[in-house]
């Protein structure tokens, strides 16, 4: 049952005046519930701010006995939960710099996990690596241990040193390191100061109109910015209750998300785009009728691009549960700016803005030319787009062409960002930093356009497929593939492979089926997908490969990793890499 102590009794005023994250925690109402962790089989663990602070101090005491000092880097590889959160804050209380890495689970490709664990831990050069007692023995050899690094297997720590004296952090000090999603190559560490995090949280809290009645729900992993910032740092600083579960528990039992939102009357949540279709298709109508989602005032789609079809399917499935369509919102966020760059208008009476643009002009001329809303009904050659909102205070974006020229409104190009919460560079990687920071602007690598002051995000520049001079965005092909009932939600990857015989790239699709039994009808499914892509995009698909569940390699954020999936596909199908059919790269 929900706990009435979740209600916040302290009124917050913005901007918040805290100088550091630790100061914000010490100022929290100590008797109020902070974290409620829901585990499988309805096991619930809750802590107040006072209990959480005591656990954090206990971890700080423990880490100090291992000679962890201010400024030292500490790696945490622990399952999602209160102990991980307390260890993270305990590190900060000492002035150390914590970084959470993904814990191994069935969703992550083992080879990719081992590669990432070795590379990221080596880059961090940590003084202490903290693992829980159940961390697999066979993975220990993939944790980079230097001469000064200590490996610590740590059970829950509850007792603190009564004589513990905590150093005073300064706003300019590094608070923690968070990592990019890692869809291509190694994750890149982003070191963030207390000041940068607090500036971002102030802007975000104001944009969301947060008040002392808000309650946050999350299944998002804490090693990714969406979970770490929106669903840990934000409630810590704004003194809000958070109802949490692990990503693996949610995936195995998707009904638990609307169940917990309903039971605890949560008001705010962030999710990636695939969640909407996943919940619409994987939760039975009988279960849905038991939920009450009327408490939600903002369910924020934090994927790029945002898909109208996914959100509409969710609204249709849950309208009878008290879900209002205007609570669905959007945001554009990334680790390099702490979190959010844009946010759709929470205070309005509708969700994020939708526009329809001339599809031919968009693909051939790289320009978003609006057409009448009549075209959205299927008349004319129109493509729908959903806004990711307007820039938060302190942030600005511009759209830049491949030749470095700033584009006018409607022009499609790379999104460059300037922000008062922008990172200074990647941790221990000046080579990568030099490639993305230019005169105070961060080159995101994302494609998009601006209309009427709102940002529309399309996808990654490196993933763009060019077929006979026509720009094809892989997300469009993937959305079409995932609309087929035999394809697993969010588990399709579209790739462009160059064919020297015809002098252009061609589209190859790899998609996971819902069940191995669906592979028996592979020819029918493949033909249906080909027909759908031709009908909606006007291009043909060179090849379609249907794969069993869990074949596609995913990032630590749970998104398909295109580069790694491409390599796996080429390894299994060497005919694709043949010089007679496909080259290794796009033409220069």
H helix intervals, 222-327? 225, 234-238, 247-252, 256-264, 274-282, 285-288, 308-318
210 is written with which tokens?
């947060």
**104 DSSP 8-state letter:** P
Those residues whose C-beta lies under 8 Å from the C-beta of residue 184, and which sit 6 or more positions away, are: 462, 561, 562, 563, 564
Q: What pLDDT is attached to residue 181?
A: 62
Ordered domains of the chain (ranges, CATH): 16-246 (3.40.50.12780), 254-461 (3.40.50.12780), 464-577 (3.30.300.30)
What is the sign of the dihedral through the CA atoms of 109, 114, 115 and 120? positive
Q: What's the CA gap between 450 and 110, in Å, rounded?
A: 40
Contact 417, 396 (CB under 8 A): yes
- Asked whether 576 and 582 are in contact (CB, 8 A), the reply is yes
pLDDT in tens, the chain (588 residues): 455 444 444 455 666 789 999 999 999 999 999 999 999 777 899 999 999 999 999 999 999 988 888 999 999 999 999 999 999 999 999 999 999 998 887 666 677 778 778 888 888 889 999 998 888 888 888 887 766 788 888 877 777 776 788 888 999 999 999 987 654 446 789 999 999 999 999 999 999 999 999 999 999 999 999 999 999 999 999 999 999 999 999 989 999 999 999 999 999 999 998 899 889 989 999 999 999 999 999 999 998 789 888 899 999 999 999 999 899 999 999 999 999 999 999 876 678 999 999 988 888 888 999 987 444 444 457 888 999 999 999 999 999 998 999 999 999 999 999 999 999 889 999 998 999 999 999 999 999 999 999 999 998 888 888 887 778 888 889 989 998 989 988 889 999 988 877 777 889 999 999 888 878 878 899 999 999 998 888 889 999 999 998 898 877 666 778 888 888 898 898 888 653 333 333 332
Distances (CA, A) of 558 to 251, 273, 400, 414, 511: 11, 11, 29, 24, 15
Check residue 582 and give its pLDDT: 35
HEC string of 562-580? HHHHHHHHHHHCHHHHCCC
Q: Return the pLDDT at 269.
A: 98
Tokens 């989602």 belong to residue: 293
pLDDT value at residue 118:
83
Tracing tokens 């945490």 back to the chain, one arrives at 76
pLDDT at 14: 62
Q: Is the sign of the CA dihedral 118, 120, 121, 124 positive or negative? A: positive
Nearest-angstrom CA–CA distance, 385 and 399:
17
Report the distance separating Cα 582 and Cα 588, nearest Å: 15
What's the DSSP call for residue 407?
A: P
């Amino acid at each position: 049952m929900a706990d009435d102590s979740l209600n916040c009794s302290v009124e917050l005023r913005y901007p918040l005046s805290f100088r550091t994250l630790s100061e914000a925690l010490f100022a929290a109402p100590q008797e109020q519930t902070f974290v409620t962790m829901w585990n499988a089989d309805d096991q619930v663990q809750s802590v107040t701010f006072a209990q959480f602070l005591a656990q954090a101090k206990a971890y700080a005491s423990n880490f100090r006995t291992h000679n962890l000092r201010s400024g030292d880097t500490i790696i945490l590889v622990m399952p999602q939960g209160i102990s991980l959160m307390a260890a993270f804050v305990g590190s900060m209380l000492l002035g150390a710099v914590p970084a959470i890495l993904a814990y191994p689970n069935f969703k992550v490709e083992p080879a990719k996990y081992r590669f990432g664990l070795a590379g990221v831990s080596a880059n961090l050069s940590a003084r202490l690596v903290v693992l829980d007692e159940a961390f697999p023995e066979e993975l220990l050899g993939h944790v980079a241990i230097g001469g000064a690094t200590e490996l610590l297997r740590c059970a829950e720590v509850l007792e603190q040193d009564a004589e513990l004296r905590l150093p005073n952090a300064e706003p300019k000090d590094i608070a923690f390191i968070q990592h990019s999603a890692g869809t291509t190559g190694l994750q890149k560490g982003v070191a963030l100061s207390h000041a940068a995090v607090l500036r971002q949280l102030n802007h975000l809290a104001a944009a969301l109109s947060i008040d002392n009645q808000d309650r946050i729900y999350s299944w998002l992993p804490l090693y990714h910015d969406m979970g770490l910032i929106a669903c840990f740092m934000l409630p810590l600083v704004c003194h809000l209750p958070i109802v949490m579960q692990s990503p693996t528990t949610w995936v195995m039992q998707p009904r638990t998300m609307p169940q917990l939102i309903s039971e605890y009357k949560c008001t705010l949540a962030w999710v990636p785009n695939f969640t909407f279709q996943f919940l619409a298709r994987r939760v039975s109508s009988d279960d849905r009728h038991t939920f009450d989602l009327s408490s939600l005032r903002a369910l924020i789609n934090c994927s790029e691009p945002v898909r109208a079809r996914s959100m509409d399917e969710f609204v249709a499935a849950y309208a009878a549960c008290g879900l209002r369509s205007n609570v669905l919102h959007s945001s554009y966020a990334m680790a390099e700016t702490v979190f959010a760059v844009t946010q759709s208008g929470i205070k309005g009476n509708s969700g994020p803005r939708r526009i329809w643009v001339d599809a031919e002009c968009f693909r051939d001329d790289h320009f978003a030319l609006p057409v009448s809303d009549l075209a959205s009904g299927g008349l004319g050659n129109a493509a729908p787009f959903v806004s990711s909102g307007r820039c938060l205070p302190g942030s600005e974006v511009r759209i830049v062409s491949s030749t470095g020229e700033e584009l006018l409104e409607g022009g499609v190009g790379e999104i460059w960002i300037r922000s008062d919460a922008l990172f200074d560079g990647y941790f221990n990687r000046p080579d990568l930093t030099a490639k993305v920071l230019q005169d105070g602007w961060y080159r995101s690598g994302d494609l998009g356009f601006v209309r009427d002051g709102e940002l529309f995000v399309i996808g990654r520049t490196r993933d763009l497929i060019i077929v006979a001079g026509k720009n094809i965005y892989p997300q469009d092909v993937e959305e079409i593939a995932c609309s087929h009932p035999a394809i697993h939600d969010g588990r399709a990857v579209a790739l462009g492979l160059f064919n020297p015989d015809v002098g252009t790239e061609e589209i190859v699709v790899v998609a996971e089926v819902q069940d191995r039994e669906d592979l028996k009808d592979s020819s029918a499914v493949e033909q249906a997908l080909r027909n759908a892509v031709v009908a909606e995009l006007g291009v043909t698909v060179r090849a379609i490969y249907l794969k069993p569940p869990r074949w596609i390699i995913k990032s630590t954020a749970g998104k398909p990793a295109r580069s790694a999936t491409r390599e796996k596909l080429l390894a299994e199908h060497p005919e694709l890499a043949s010089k007679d059919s496909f080259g290794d790269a796009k033409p220069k």
